[in-house]
Structure 1
Amino acid sequence: MMLDVDLQSVQEVRQYLLTAKEAQKRIQVMSQSQIDQIVQSMAEAAKSEAGRLAVLAVEETGYGRVADKTVKNLFAANDVYQAVKEMKTVGIIKRDEQNRVWEIAQPVGVIAGIVPSTNPTSTVIFKALISVKAGNAIVFSPHPQAAKCTKEAARIMQAAAERAGAPAGLISCITHPTLAASQELMGHDCTDVILATGGTAMVKAAYSSGKPAFGVGPGNVPVYIHTSADIPAAIRHTVQSKTFDYGTICASEQALVVDKEIKRKVVAELKRQGAYFLDDYETKRVAAIIMKEGGLNPAIVGKSPQAIAELAGILVPEDAKLLMAEETGIGREFPFSIEKLAPILTLYTVSDSQEASHICAKLLAFGGLGHTLGIHCQNTQVIESFVVDKPASRIVVNTGTTFGGIGATTGILPSLTLGCGSFGNNVTSDNIGPQHLFNVKRVAFGLREMKLEAPENVTFAAVPAPAAPAISRDEITEIIKSVLMELQSSNR
């Protein structure tokens, strides 16, 4: 029976890819204004359906909150759209008349869009918008736990695109996701580029497919709170950021690294703003459920503090927004030090910025290389010295890392796919946008003649042949004796 399902899903993928290939050929010859009308129609449809899609996502996956998933959908439909709508993506996109170089955009073709269960509908809206803006078709591979809401989001995007003149089959989604289907999608000849958002195994599979891939590594985000920080503001930003959609965005804070000089004030402010500090017994109970089979326990992902407490067999106040635990160690034997896609936050105490730098670097190396780092500080010199050597592609200052990392509260390009660079074995450290989804061809005019003769004052010295190694008379005698002995031995 499983074999039949796999065969059906693989056949479905092949059909979607062939249709997408034909649709992409048609959209590739459209003008910039035609493409922009299609993208605008998609963004408007996503805005009008943001709330309904959020309800579908929460009902199907059990992750997060409807209100916050609605905001994520609107972020893709509003912020991302506004950031890319004026971008040139068709034909000649730049003319450098001084150097006589023109740049021409050409779509990559058909994109495989891998969608996570934590952000299923917002990811579809985002990837569909940037793919079509760059003149591509896209076929989505949903997580099995989010297949229905992902498919509905893709259907809405395709219908809106068609209303604005796009061809059928430009945006599609696998109906019955299987491992075989995902492998076929990523490895098929019709697939040109992979946009992979998901677990480490899925991202590795994308990079192993033999196709160009934009993958996203995990984000074990540390945040340093310096003595100069505006503590009430820092904690407000942290709580808002970490509790958003119950911590399901990978740029959310995972650990606070706090100077001991201000620890008492920071802890008091955390408690005042809704953080619940676990006692020793409660810490052990929660630690026991954070991990499962060597990785993050999916049962706690995107769940409320109260639901996590119930799973751990403890009671926490109904108004608790965050579960806090103090920690000193980093590694698999310290579950609070891993990336926790849930409203669980860890507190490390340090003596100074040098120790804070060490702890933050260790946390990034343990599970967040290349992703995101946060700092709350009012001293520019401290910020500069702290950030220059950190292996993080986004360093967010004085705002929540969830919102700062995706470009909602910072000047970074708004995006829901955050590259981790070579630190995290990713192809780029950028926030991904349409500019990553087309090839740039360069038309270069001749400006000068190539000098083919060397200047008169240049001389060429002859390179002497290597001298033969000097051999003494005694060494020659020993070599002859050795050869004669070998000959005599062979004659026997």
Structure 2
Amino acid sequence: MDKDLQSIQEVRDLVKRAKTAQSEFQKFSQSDVDRVVQAMADAGYRAAETLARAAIDDTHFGRFEDKIIKNQFATRDVWNAIKNLQTVGVIDRDRHHRTMKIAEPMGIIAAIIPTTNPTSTVMNNMIIGVKGGNAIVSSPHPQAANCTMAAAEVLRLAAEKAGAPAGLIGCIKTPTIVGAQHLMTHDDVNVIVATGGRGIVKAAYSSGKPAYGVGPGNVPAIIERSANVTKAVKDTIAGKSFDNGVICSSEQTLIYEGAIERQVMLALKNLPVHIVSDAEKQKLKNWMFKADGKLNPAVVGLDPWRIAENSGFKVDSKIRVLIVPIDTVGPDEVFSKEKLSPVLALLRANSIKQAFNFGLTMIEMSGIGHTASLHTQDEDLVLEFAHKFPVGRLIVNSPSVHGSVGYTTELSPAFTLGSGTRSGSISMDNISAKHFINVKTLAYETKPLDKSGSTDSAIDRPFQSRRGSKQPVEKPEAPPVLINPTRVSTSVEPDQKNILYGSSGITEDEIQKIIRDFKG
């Protein structure tokens, strides 16, 4: 059978099963849901090393040690962050305002999984999705299908063993672009979470369904003169080298103030990096980028020594990052773009103002809404940074990668990083379980239309009852009951000048005076 047709049929079968399973699962109590999700997280954590090896075997890029950490983080840390979150039934009561919030599942989630983080992302999405009472069907990247399906299967078996209905968790075994598009547009799919290249994320936004999208990042790492320079440089290299730079919040250009150049270069000298020469830079450019400036996909996640070798020069196998000095940023400087590899641009700025401008150019060029990082001890500068940069994650004094996913900060642990409306996503948050529930609000009356205290319905006079009736009450012999009866006439037909409006007891004459004053 044609692969596209096979993929489409799989989608139909998986969504059908998911719909049946979710209708049963939404009846589960909070404790039952949590038992299922904890079983999934525990199973994924135990399989972290096996799945990391499977990801390396499937994709042939990244670092095995780092993929273990990612898998552990996507299971144990994510679960620990959401385990106390109420996602079933009444989740909040406000007795003072007489409101109540009730959670309900969104339904069926379509999850598009990238090749860069295939096992960690699929487990992260399944854990947070099922925590919300949803079913989830995942579409792996074709180049990472085996490891993604293996991870999904680990969590599926654990969930069903813990009592989840069969079909609640599904994964396409024959993934194709056509199959992914069919999944996203399926009538029974309620929400999409898409991580990957521009094309698939754009397709998610264009599906007609609510979508959490993770677009490209192009993170500037700015070091200001008051920073702990040695730590800042070390953090930047730690972030850039993690899993060979494949995470979208990885640092892309290290921008530093010229006043601290000597300290920056000394810090780099003591780290396992190689600063390329002009000749090596040209060779690197020729191999890493196509004639149109687009990134050569073969570079993604490769070890630095392999990138150098493919480019025509050699570096020691212990080198973790290739450093490329540049003079500016923008479309004409390809090294100032997202590189998805352990290649980091290095740029001197004459002032912090110029450094910010360089960083903003990078963000606007490619990375709007995503992440930026700043190293400084100047709190006023931190606030300026926060106001100026149009990104969802503003990381201060931490590796951008680790800070953005919540590993070294108090951000919600996540591998799905929303980039906001300017990039087409419905959220700038780190996407978590709270993003996969609908919240209904129940509200009791606290400001009745009929303030007279009458037991009669106010339906026939809804606007009069809030300001005091201009009509006599039903019993003509009785005076109208108004807000401040001691200040009004007791006649059946009240004096219009003395009728009071609102809780403050304002009169008609006073209202007219206010109007005249505004008219000048």
Both proteins in one fold, TM over 0.5:
yes
Return closer, same or farther for 1:332/1:355 CA change in 2, 3 Å cut-off: closer
Secondary structure, aligned partner of 1:418: coil
In 2, the alpha carbon distance for the partners of 1:445 and 1:392 equals 39
Give the C-alpha shift of residue 38 in structure 1: 0.3
Q: Which residue of 2 aligns with 1:490?
A: none
In 2, the alpha carbon distance for the partners of 1:205 and 1:122 equals 22
Give the C-alpha shift of residue 460 in structure 1: 11
Q: Which residue of 2 aligns with 1:280?
A: 278
Query: For the Cα contact (< 8 Å) 1:353–1:386, is it kept in 2?
Result: no
Is the aligned partner of 1:96 residue 2:83?
Answer: no
Q: Superposition pairs for residues 359-398 of structure 1, below 5 Å?
A: 359-398=358-397
In 2, the alpha carbon distance for the partners of 1:129 and 1:181 equals 23
Give the C-alpha shift of residue 459 in structure 1: 4.2
Question: Which of 138, 161, 164 is equivalent to 2:162?
Answer: 164
Query: For the Cα contact (< 8 Å) 1:235–1:273, is it kept in 2?
Result: no
Q: Which residue of 1 aligns with 2:171?
A: 173
Instruction: String of CA shifts for 1:428-474, please: whole Å, max 9, x gaps.
Output: 11110111101100000000123723532434999xxxxxxxxxxxx
**Root-mean-square deviation over aligned CA pairs:** 1.5
TM-score when normalising by structure 2: 0.86
What letter is aligned with 1:387? A
Return closer, same or farther for 1:27/1:171 CA change in 2, 3 Å cut-off: same
Give the C-alpha shift of residue 63 in structure 1: 1.6
Q: Which residue of 2 aligns with 1:208?
A: 206
Query: For the Cα contact (< 8 Å) 1:21–1:137, is it kept in 2?
Result: yes
Q: Which residue of 1 aligns with 2:326?
A: 327
Secondary structure, aligned partner of 1:215: strand
Instruction: String of CA shifts for 1:27-60, please: whole Å, max 9, x gaps.
Output: 1000000000001100110011000000000011
In 2, the alpha carbon distance for the partners of 1:21 and 1:294 equals 44
Query: For the Cα contact (< 8 Å) 1:214–1:427, is it kept in 2?
Result: yes
Q: Which residue of 2 aligns with 1:458?
A: 511
In 2, the alpha carbon distance for the partners of 1:94 and 1:295 equals 49
Secondary structure, aligned partner of 1:346: strand
Q: Superposition pairs for residues 327-476 of structure 1, below 5 Å?
A: 327-450=326-449, 452-453=463-464, 455=501, 456=508, 457-459=510-512
Q: Which residue of 2 aligns with 1:476?
A: none
Question: Which of 41, 54, 57 is equivalent to 1:56?
Answer: 54
Q: Superposition pairs for residues 26-45 of structure 1, below 5 Å?
A: 26-45=24-43
Query: For the Cα contact (< 8 Å) 1:387–1:395, is it kept in 2?
Result: yes
In 2, the alpha carbon distance for the partners of 1:445 and 1:98 equals 11
In 2, the alpha carbon distance for the partners of 1:103 and 1:25 equals 21
In 1, the alpha carbon distance for the partners of 2:293 and 2:140 equals 24
Is the aligned partner of 1:139 residue 2:192?
Answer: no
Q: Which moved more, 1:162-171 or 1:445-454?
A: 445-454
What letter is aligned with 2:434? Q
Query: For the Cα contact (< 8 Å) 1:290–1:336, is it kept in 2?
Result: no
Instruction: String of CA shifts for 1:337-361, please: whole Å, max 9, x gaps.
Output: 1101100001111111111111111
Question: Which of 16, 19, 29 is equivalent to 1:18?
Answer: 16
Query: For the Cα contact (< 8 Å) 2:251–2:401, is it kept in 1?
Result: yes
Query: For the Cα contact (< 8 Å) 2:411–2:430, is it kept in 1?
Result: yes
Is the aligned partner of 1:72 residue 2:125?
Answer: no
Query: For the Cα contact (< 8 Å) 2:330–2:361, is it kept in 1?
Result: no
Q: Which moved more, 1:328-337 or 1:97-106?
A: 328-337
Give the C-alpha shift of residue 319 in structure 1: 2.2
Query: For the Cα contact (< 8 Å) 1:76–1:415, is it kept in 2?
Result: yes
Question: Which of 156, 165, 187 is equivalent to 1:189?
Answer: 187
Secondary structure, aligned partner of 1:235: helix
Instruction: String of CA shifts for 1:234-291, please: whole Å, max 9, x gaps.
Output: 1221111110100011111001110001112102211211121000000111112222
What letter is aligned with 1:388? H
| Structure 2: segments with no counterpart, 5+ residues | 451-462, 468-500, 502-507, 516-520
Q: Which residue of 2 aligns with 1:83?
A: 81
What letter is aligned with 1:444? A
What letter is aligned with 2:310? L
What letter is aligned with 2:408? T
What letter is aligned with 1:403? H
In 2, the alpha carbon distance for the partners of 1:355 and 1:5 equals 51
Is the aligned partner of 1:237 residue 2:235?
Answer: yes
Instruction: String of CA shifts for 1:326-379, please: whole Å, max 9, x gaps.
Output: 112323321101101100001111111111111111011111111111011112
In 2, the alpha carbon distance for the partners of 1:319 and 1:50 equals 25
What letter is aligned with 1:386? F
Q: Which residue of 2 aligns with 1:472?
A: none
TM-score when normalising by structure 1: 0.91
In 2, the alpha carbon distance for the partners of 1:288 and 1:405 equals 31
What letter is aligned with 1:395? L
In 2, the alpha carbon distance for the partners of 1:175 and 1:222 equals 38
Q: Which moved more, 1:443-452 or 1:28-37?
A: 443-452
Instruction: String of CA shifts for 1:123-162, please: whole Å, max 9, x gaps.
Output: 1110000000000000000000001111111111100001
Give the C-alpha shift of residue 382 in structure 1: 2.1
Q: Which residue of 1 aligns with 2:486?
A: none
Query: For the Cα contact (< 8 Å) 2:205–2:424, is it kept in 1?
Result: no
In 2, the alpha carbon distance for the partners of 1:389 and 1:72 equals 31
Give the C-alpha shift of residue 294 in structure 1: 4.5
Give the C-alpha shift of residue 421 in structure 1: 1.1
Query: For the Cα contact (< 8 Å) 1:114–1:196, is it kept in 2?
Result: yes
Query: For the Cα contact (< 8 Å) 2:391–2:419, is it kept in 1?
Result: yes
Return closer, same or farther for 1:275/1:461 CA change in 2, 3 Å cut-off: closer
Query: For the Cα contact (< 8 Å) 1:120–1:142, is it kept in 2?
Result: yes
In 2, the alpha carbon distance for the partners of 1:204 and 1:362 equals 22
What letter is aligned with 1:202? I
Q: Which residue of 2 aligns with 1:268?
A: 266
Secondary structure, aligned partner of 2:302: coil
Q: Which residue of 2 aligns with 1:6?
A: 4
Number of residue equivalences: 460
In 2, the alpha carbon distance for the partners of 1:419 and 1:303 equals 26
Query: For the Cα contact (< 8 Å) 2:221–2:236, is it kept in 1?
Result: no
Query: For the Cα contact (< 8 Å) 2:328–2:358, is it kept in 1?
Result: no
